[in-house]
Amino acid sequence: MQLCARATLLTLSQLGGVIAGNWSQARCLKAANKIERKGCTAPPSWLGVQVSTGCSFEEDDNGLLLVLTGTSNTTTVFTDRPNREAAEVFTYQLAKHATQLFRNDAPNAVVASRVAGQVSPARFVIQLFAPAFDEATGTLTYRVQQSASQQAVAPLELDIAMTSCSVFIDSSIDWR
């Protein structure tokens, strides 16, 4: 097990080189294969949940935004089975290091919220880009897009006021 842990840590420490573009795809695959041959599994994938008192989808000159207001200063993160780890990370750190955390690949997310006059919560599947967090106001903003498949499930609605918003973010490297 110690060998696996060391190999996994080595891979995570070398991730900086991958992000900086110092490694070729072939070199990345070679490193992953070495870990596999040693009977190790990849590092766990982390998921995140962000909560806010309100949210809305807005449009500006550059596209669509998800604006979360009254956002918690911490984001809850956890791993899938079999690891079952959990932690709290500062939301500003997520915004600051998003490119590295998501390996330059925008994460998918589900926004779930209450909408006045509706019994069921509203749910939207989106891709998140370029987070910005204003700690003073508790406002977290993401650029968003929807794939055709995501739009077929639940197209974005720009003119609804949503409360009690939760954003469920798919996998990243270790957020802690």
**3-state class of 148 per DSSP?**
helix
pLDDT per position as a tens digit, 80-96: 888 889 999 999 999 99
pLDDT per position as a tens digit, 6-46: 333 333 333 333 333 444 555 545 555 554 445 556 778 88
Q: Whole-model pTM?
A: 0.74
CB 55 within 8 A of CB 68: yes
| Fold type of domain 46-172 | Elongation Factor Tu (Ef-tu); domain 3 (2.40.30)
Q: Left if phi > 0, otherwise alpha if psi is -120 to 50, otherwise beta: which for 79?
A: beta
Residue spans of the domains in the chain: they are 2-37, 46-172
